[in-house]
């Protein structure tokens, strides 16, 4: 196992794999983090939009 880890650490393929893992993790984490900050605002805006649409369409009946 040690020999494999030493080879992996020295190999360019290993470095490339780690780069892709880090980039993929960042590509997944960034939108999730952004969504967690904007969730309350988004829910409030959608609720307000829904209430507005209900009032507008209810008045047409």
Quick: pLDDT tens for 4-60.
878 777 777 667 888 899 999 999 999 999 888 888 888 899 999 999 999 888 877
Enter the pTM of the model: 0.47
- Residue 44: C-alpha distances to residues 24, 32, 47 (Å): 31, 18, 5
pLDDT value of position 38: 87
pLDDT value of position 61: 60
């Amino acid at each position: 196992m040690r020999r494999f880890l030493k080879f992996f650490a020295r190999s360019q393929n290993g470095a490339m794999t780690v780069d892709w893992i880090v980039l993929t993790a960042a590509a997944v984490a960034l939108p999730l983090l952004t969504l967690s900050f904007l969730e309350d605002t988004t829910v409030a805006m959608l609720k307000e939009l829904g209430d507005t649409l209900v009032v507008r369409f209810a008045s047409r009946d």
